[in-house]
Protein backbone atom coordinates (compact mmCIF):
# COMPACT_ATOMS: atom_id res chain seq x y z
CA UNK A 1 0.00 0.00 0.00
CA UNK A 2 2.83 2.41 0.77
CA UNK A 3 4.44 1.85 -2.63
CA UNK A 4 1.17 2.55 -4.49
CA UNK A 5 0.72 5.77 -2.51
CA UNK A 6 4.28 6.87 -3.34
CA UNK A 7 3.76 6.07 -7.01
CA UNK A 8 0.52 8.09 -7.12
CA UNK A 9 2.14 10.92 -5.20
CA UNK A 10 5.14 10.82 -7.56
CA UNK A 11 2.84 11.00 -10.61
CA UNK A 12 0.95 13.95 -9.10
CA UNK A 13 4.25 15.76 -8.47
CA UNK A 14 5.50 15.05 -12.01
CA UNK A 15 2.21 16.26 -13.54
CA UNK A 16 2.30 19.33 -11.28
CA UNK A 17 5.86 20.16 -12.33
CA UNK A 18 4.94 19.62 -15.98
CA UNK A 19 1.91 21.95 -15.72
CA UNK A 20 3.95 24.56 -13.86
CA UNK A 21 6.71 24.39 -16.46
CA UNK A 22 4.28 24.46 -19.39
CA UNK A 23 2.32 27.37 -17.96
CA UNK A 24 5.46 29.42 -17.31
CA UNK A 25 6.79 28.64 -20.79
CA UNK A 26 3.52 29.73 -22.38
CA UNK A 27 3.42 32.93 -20.31
CA UNK A 28 6.99 33.73 -21.36
CA UNK A 29 6.20 33.21 -25.04
CA UNK A 30 2.96 35.18 -24.76
CA UNK A 31 4.80 38.14 -23.19
CA UNK A 32 7.49 37.92 -25.88
CA UNK A 33 4.82 38.11 -28.62
CA UNK A 34 3.16 41.09 -26.88
CA UNK A 35 6.54 42.82 -26.65
CA UNK A 36 7.24 42.16 -30.32
CA UNK A 37 3.84 43.58 -31.31
CA UNK A 38 4.60 46.64 -29.22
CA UNK A 39 7.87 47.07 -31.14
CA UNK A 40 5.93 47.00 -34.41
CA UNK A 41 3.47 49.62 -33.19
CA UNK A 42 6.32 51.88 -32.07
CA UNK A 43 7.91 51.71 -35.52
CA UNK A 44 4.56 52.26 -37.26
CA UNK A 45 4.04 55.36 -35.11
CA UNK A 46 7.57 56.57 -35.94
CA UNK A 47 6.86 56.16 -39.63
CA UNK A 48 3.49 57.87 -39.28
CA UNK A 49 5.23 60.84 -37.65
CA UNK A 50 7.57 61.17 -40.65
CA UNK A 51 4.85 61.13 -43.30
CA UNK A 52 3.34 64.61 -42.69
CA UNK A 53 6.80 66.18 -43.07
CA UNK A 54 7.40 64.24 -46.26
CA UNK A 55 4.01 65.28 -47.64
CA UNK A 56 4.64 68.94 -46.81
CA UNK A 57 8.01 68.82 -48.55
CA UNK A 58 6.51 67.28 -51.68
CA UNK A 59 3.51 69.66 -51.53
CA UNK A 60 5.87 72.59 -51.87
CA UNK A 61 6.81 71.32 -55.33
CA UNK A 62 3.62 69.59 -56.45
CA UNK A 63 0.69 71.37 -54.81
CA UNK A 64 -1.73 70.25 -57.53
CA UNK A 65 -1.35 66.56 -56.57
CA UNK A 66 -3.83 66.82 -53.67
CA UNK A 67 -5.46 63.43 -54.40
CA UNK A 68 -2.15 61.65 -53.81
CA UNK A 69 -1.58 63.57 -50.57
CA UNK A 70 -5.08 62.75 -49.35
CA UNK A 71 -4.57 59.04 -50.10
CA UNK A 72 -1.25 58.97 -48.23
CA UNK A 73 -2.75 60.84 -45.28
CA UNK A 74 -5.73 58.47 -45.14
CA UNK A 75 -3.49 55.39 -45.42
CA UNK A 76 -1.16 56.78 -42.74
CA UNK A 77 -4.07 57.31 -40.34
CA UNK A 78 -5.31 53.78 -40.96
CA UNK A 79 -1.95 52.20 -40.10
CA UNK A 80 -1.90 53.71 -36.61
CA UNK A 81 -5.57 53.61 -35.65
CA UNK A 82 -6.16 51.71 -32.39
CA UNK A 83 -8.67 49.39 -34.06
CA UNK A 84 -6.13 48.37 -36.68
CA UNK A 85 -3.23 48.03 -34.25
CA UNK A 86 -5.27 45.66 -32.09
CA UNK A 87 -5.40 43.02 -34.85
CA UNK A 88 -2.45 41.85 -36.93
CA UNK A 89 -4.69 40.96 -39.89
CA UNK A 90 -6.18 44.47 -40.01
CA UNK A 91 -2.71 45.99 -39.59
CA UNK A 92 -1.44 43.89 -42.47
CA UNK A 93 -4.28 45.09 -44.73
CA UNK A 94 -3.57 48.70 -43.77
CA UNK A 95 0.13 48.16 -44.50
CA UNK A 96 -0.68 47.01 -48.04
CA UNK A 97 -2.82 50.09 -48.66
CA UNK A 98 -0.13 52.34 -47.19
CA UNK A 99 2.56 50.83 -49.44
CA UNK A 100 0.41 51.57 -52.50
CA UNK A 101 -0.19 55.16 -51.40
CA UNK A 102 3.52 55.71 -50.79
CA UNK A 103 4.36 54.42 -54.27
CA UNK A 104 2.05 57.10 -55.66
CA UNK A 105 3.73 59.78 -53.56
CA UNK A 106 7.20 58.77 -54.71
CA UNK A 107 5.97 58.63 -58.30
CA UNK A 108 4.88 62.28 -57.93
CA UNK A 109 8.26 63.15 -56.40
CA UNK A 110 10.02 61.57 -59.39
CA UNK A 111 8.50 64.17 -61.67
CA UNK A 112 10.24 67.02 -59.85
CA UNK A 113 14.07 66.94 -60.14
CA UNK A 114 14.48 69.96 -57.85
CA UNK A 115 12.53 68.09 -55.14
CA UNK A 116 14.82 65.09 -55.51
CA UNK A 117 17.77 67.38 -54.80
CA UNK A 118 16.12 68.92 -51.71
CA UNK A 119 18.13 67.98 -48.59
CA UNK A 120 15.04 67.89 -46.39
CA UNK A 121 13.34 65.47 -48.79
CA UNK A 122 16.45 63.29 -48.97
CA UNK A 123 16.77 63.22 -45.17
CA UNK A 124 13.10 62.32 -44.75
CA UNK A 125 13.39 59.63 -47.39
CA UNK A 126 16.43 58.19 -45.61
CA UNK A 127 14.59 58.19 -42.27
CA UNK A 128 11.61 56.51 -43.90
CA UNK A 129 13.82 53.81 -45.40
CA UNK A 130 15.46 53.23 -42.02
CA UNK A 131 12.06 52.99 -40.34
CA UNK A 132 10.79 50.54 -42.97
CA UNK A 133 13.82 48.35 -42.25
CA UNK A 134 13.03 48.48 -38.53
CA UNK A 135 9.39 47.58 -39.19
CA UNK A 136 10.52 44.60 -41.25
CA UNK A 137 12.85 43.44 -38.46
CA UNK A 138 10.16 43.92 -35.81
CA UNK A 139 7.71 41.99 -37.98
CA UNK A 140 10.15 39.08 -38.33
CA UNK A 141 10.70 39.06 -34.55
CA UNK A 142 6.94 39.15 -33.91
CA UNK A 143 6.21 36.36 -36.40
CA UNK A 144 9.02 34.26 -34.89
CA UNK A 145 7.50 34.69 -31.44
CA UNK A 146 4.05 33.81 -32.76
CA UNK A 147 5.50 30.72 -34.44
CA UNK A 148 7.10 29.56 -31.18
CA UNK A 149 3.96 30.25 -29.13
CA UNK A 150 1.62 28.59 -31.63
CA UNK A 151 3.90 25.57 -31.92
CA UNK A 152 4.01 25.14 -28.15
CA UNK A 153 0.24 25.53 -27.87
CA UNK A 154 -0.48 23.04 -30.66
CA UNK A 155 2.00 20.26 -29.80
CA UNK A 156 0.99 17.28 -27.72
CA UNK A 157 0.60 17.11 -24.73
CA UNK A 158 0.64 20.91 -24.39
CA UNK A 159 -2.47 21.18 -26.57
CA UNK A 160 -4.42 19.30 -23.90
CA UNK A 161 -3.64 21.91 -21.25
CA UNK A 162 -2.88 25.17 -23.11
CA UNK A 163 -6.45 26.17 -23.92
CA UNK A 164 -7.60 25.20 -20.43
CA UNK A 165 -4.88 27.46 -19.05
CA UNK A 166 -6.20 30.37 -21.15
CA UNK A 167 -3.76 30.40 -24.07
CA UNK A 168 -4.79 30.69 -27.70
CA UNK A 169 -2.88 30.71 -30.96
CA UNK A 170 -1.96 34.19 -32.20
CA UNK A 171 -2.18 35.69 -35.71
CA UNK A 172 0.89 36.21 -37.83
CA UNK A 173 1.51 39.69 -39.20
CA UNK A 174 1.32 38.97 -42.90
CA UNK A 175 0.52 41.56 -45.50
CA UNK A 176 -2.53 40.48 -47.49
CA UNK A 177 -1.21 41.82 -50.81
CA UNK A 178 2.37 40.63 -50.63
CA UNK A 179 3.04 41.89 -54.17
CA UNK A 180 2.47 45.44 -52.91
CA UNK A 181 5.44 45.21 -50.55
CA UNK A 182 7.75 42.85 -52.45
CA UNK A 183 9.74 45.79 -53.75
CA UNK A 184 10.21 49.08 -51.94
CA UNK A 185 9.15 52.22 -53.78
CA UNK A 186 11.77 53.18 -56.36
CA UNK A 187 12.88 56.78 -56.44
CA UNK A 188 15.34 57.63 -59.18
CA UNK A 189 17.57 60.66 -59.05
- Looking at domain 2-182, its CATH superfamily turns out to be LemA-like domain (1.20.1440.20)
**pLDDT the model gives residue 43:** 93
**pLDDT the model gives residue 121:** 86
Rounded distance between C-alpha atoms, residue 67 and residue 39, angstroms = 31
Instruction: For residue 32, give the nearest of 172, 144, 174, 162 by alpha carbon.
Output: 144
160 SS3 class: helix
CA angle 4, 7, 13 (to 5 degrees): 140
**pLDDT the model gives residue 37:** 95
Q: Is-above-0.85 flag for pTM?
A: no
Distance between first and last Cα of the chain: 86
**pLDDT the model gives residue 139:** 93
Domain residue extents for the chain: 2-182
Q: Indicate left, alpha or beta for 92 from its phi (over 0: left) and psi (-120 to 50: alpha).
A: alpha
Q: What is the pLDDT along the chain (189 residues), one digit of tens a residue?
A: 689 999 999 999 999 999 999 999 999 999 999 999 999 999 999 999 999 988 888 888 887 778 888 999 999 999 999 998 888 989 989 988 998 999 888 888 888 888 878 888 888 889 999 999 999 999 999 999 999 999 999 999 899 889 888 999 999 998 665 555 555 555 443
Amino acid sequence: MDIALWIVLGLVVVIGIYLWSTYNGLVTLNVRVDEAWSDITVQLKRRADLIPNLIETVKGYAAHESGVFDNVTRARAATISPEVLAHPAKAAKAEGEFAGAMKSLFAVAEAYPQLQANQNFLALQSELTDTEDKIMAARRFYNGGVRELNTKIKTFPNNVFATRLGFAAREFFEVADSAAIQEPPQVKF
